[in-house]
Amino acid sequence: MHIRSALFVLVALMILSVPAMADHRRTPVVKAVESVSPSVVNITVIKKVQGGNRSPFGDPFFDQFFKDFYGNRPKQSQSIGSGVIIDGDKALVLTNAHVVSGGSEITVRLNDGREFKAELIGSDPDFDLAVLKLKKAAKLPQVAMGDSDDIYIGETVIAIGNPFGYSHTVTTGVVSALNRPMKTNGGAFGSFIQTDAAINPGNSGGPLLNIHGKLIGINTAIHARAEGIGFAIPINKAKFVIDELLNTGHVAPIWLGIFGQDIDQSTARYFNLKSLKGMLVSEAYKDTPAAQAGIRPGDIVLGFNRRQVTNKNDYLTQLFGNTKSENVVLVILRDGKQQQVTLKPQVLNKGKALNLVRTRWGFELADRTKGGGAMVTVVVPGSPAGKLGLQKGDVIHQIGNRRLDSGVDLLNAFLRNRMQKTVLMRVQRGRGLYYVRLTL
């Protein structure tokens, strides 16, 4: 009888422990995924592209014969990315700019199967962020915002996205590093969170979460030649960008009012420097943050927000990782002594930029209503533009790697290339398109 009673108790305990064991498997990762998945979306973008020079026969002879006909036919391409709902009441989705770039039609699908058409509220390619608004949608689930300044290297993170079209794929890993600088063909994006959580094509724009299911980053890129190296835009940086995209549709171009040059051997000897790292200030414009902070020609910029400045391009890269709302702390070397100065970036307006283009490059530009680009309206004799042979009526479609599709593109193009010795431009004269180098 005692044996039967003992067996009965044992079986009862086993039965009662099943729910407890099942609940034990609901780890913090599982709970975070359950909480956030409803706010993660799949983004499908339809893009219109120019048709290729191939005939439907797949034969080189026919390709050559029909190239004029088939080459001019517009086609559609489709791309897939991820996003996350950041405001359920306003139906706002945060994603990468490159996910929706060039899209003529954007469709967003939720985890519960609902689909909405979306309009692009604002996008910035330099920060690789875009905000969408879902049409005829309200009271949607939304992600909880985290704090990307409160992250430990080695802590667990979760990525959710749609790699290769596999909807709501979950991967986990750790924070591998913080403040990773990265450059791309589209520009320099600043400091990233590095993670070993698997991030594949289609994950772009999806959320990077901490163990509590809070949004700490937006997944944006993978290293092309490595496994286990992914990058995410810190959410604290994204918050500044989101505010500007919602208010103006773009991020305002900023500068500190400094022109500078790299340090060569002769400069290093003159200033008794032990290293060639840094940027020599050649000019500080009046009525700018630099001038107001007392920065002057001959100063050497050694640091930018606790990071070393190696040369003028590095200075520009770090500057373009900031928004107008963020202070900049520079480390300046003057007379052999280092000092820190804090500056509030200044928005470079179009009028100021056009004046600087005329003063430094030697031409004036005006927007075009059709065809893109900016038209040359004045060429200053004897200026770099005058020596190049630029003429009134020429149309500039590209400066450096920046296409001129709007006024803000000109501002960014000038800011990026203002310290270069030569600037590559794509110029249209009549029906001809040419690449030319402006020597400064």
For residue range 193-219, list pLDDT tens digits in order.
Answer: 999 998 888 888 999 999 999 999 999
Taking only the tens place, the pLDDT of each residue in 240-276 is: 999 999 998 888 889 999 999 999 999 888 888 888 9
Q: Of 248, 270, 290, which residue constitutes the final position of a domain?
A: 248
Q: Is the pLDDT assigned to residue 13 strictly greater than 80?
A: no
266-294: average pLDDT: 91
Sign of CA dihedral 238, 124, 190, 285: negative
Taking only the tens place, the pLDDT of each residue in 33-42 is: 999 999 999 9
Please report whether residue 28 resides in a domain. no
Q: Is the pLDDT assigned to residue 154 strictly greater than 80?
A: yes
Reading the block at residue 362, the tokens are: 């030697």
Full-model pTM: 0.80
pLDDT confidence of residue 58: 46
Q: Is the pLDDT assigned to residue 46 strictly greater than 90?
A: no
pLDDT confidence of residue 14: 59
**CB 415 within 8 Å of CB 385:** no
404-417: average pLDDT: 79
pLDDT confidence of residue 389: 92
Please report whether residue 11 resides in a domain. no
Q: How confident is the model at residue 20 (pLDDT cuts 50, 70, 90)?
A: low
How many domains is the chain partitioned into structurally?
4
Q: Of 224, 248, 272, which residue constitutes the final position of a domain?
A: 248
Q: Which of 68-72, 220-224, 248-252, 403-407 has the highest mean predicted lDDT (pLDDT)?
A: 248-252
Mean of pLDDT over the chain: 85
CATH of residue 375: 2.30.42.10
Buried b (16+ CB within 10 A) or exposed e, 386-416: eebebeeebbbbbbbebebeeebbbbbbbbb
**Better-predicted residue by pLDDT, 119 or 199:** 119
Q: How confident is the model at residue 403 (pLDDT cuts 50, 70, 90)?
A: confident
Q: Which of 72-81, 156-165, 193-202, 287-296 has the highest mean predicted lDDT (pLDDT)?
A: 287-296
Taking only the tens place, the pLDDT of each residue in 309-340 is: 999 988 988 888 889 999 999 999 998 899 99
Please report whether residue 201 resides in a domain. yes
Give the CA distances from residue 248 to residues 241, 244, 345, in Å, rounded to whole numbers and listed in that order: 11, 6, 18
96-118: average pLDDT: 89
Taking only the tens place, the pLDDT of each residue in 185-195 is: 545 466 899 99
Please report whether residue 320 resides in a domain. yes
Q: How confident is the model at residue 373 (pLDDT cuts 50, 70, 90)?
A: confident
SS (H, E, C) the chain: CHHHHHHHHHHHHHHHHHHHHHHHCCCHHHHHHHHHHHHEEEEEEEEEEECCCCCCCCCHHHHHHHHHHHHCCEEEEEEEEEEEEEECCCCEEEECHHHHCCEEEEEEECCCCCEEEEEEEEEECCCCEEEEEECCCCCCCCCEECCCCCCCCCCEEEEEECHHHCCCEEEEEEEEEEEEEEEECCEEEEEEEEECCCCCCCCCCCEEEECCCEEEEEEEEECCCCCCCEEEEEHHHHHHHHHHHHHHCCCCCEECCEEEEECCHHHHHHCCCCCCCCEEEEEECCCCHHHHCCCCCCCEEEEECCEECCCHHHHHHHHCCCCCCCCEEEEEEECCEEEEEEECCEECCHHHHHHHHHHHHCEEEEECCCCCCEEEEEECCCCHHHHHCCCCCCEEEEECCEECCCHHHHHHHHHHHCCCCEEEEEEEECCEEEEEEEEC
Same domain, 63 and 114: yes
Enclosing domain of residue 163: 144-248
Please report whether residue 24 resides in a domain. no
**CB 256 within 8 Å of CB 346:** yes
Same domain, 81 and 158: no
Q: How confident is the model at residue 56 (pLDDT cuts 50, 70, 90)?
A: very low
CATH of residue 82: 2.40.10.10
Please report whether residue 16 resides in a domain. no
Please report whether residue 62 resides in a domain. yes
Same domain, 64 and 118: yes
pLDDT confidence of residue 274: 86
Q: What is the C-alpha separation between 42 and 165, in angstroms, rounded?
A: 8
Same domain, 261 and 238: no
Same domain, 184 and 244: yes
Same domain, 52 and 121: yes
Same domain, 148 and 244: yes
Of 174-183, 276-285, 378-387, the one with minimum mean pLDDT is: 174-183
**CB 235 within 8 Å of CB 216:** yes
**Better-predicted residue by pLDDT, 73 or 200:** 200
pLDDT confidence of residue 66: 47
For the annotated catalytic residues, the residue numbers are 98, 128, 204
Please report whether residue 61 resides in a domain. yes
**Better-predicted residue by pLDDT, 409 or 238:** 238
The residue type of 205 is: G
Q: What is the C-alpha separation between 127 and 234, in angstroms, rounded?
A: 11
Q: Of 206, 225, 248, which residue constitutes the final position of a domain?
A: 248
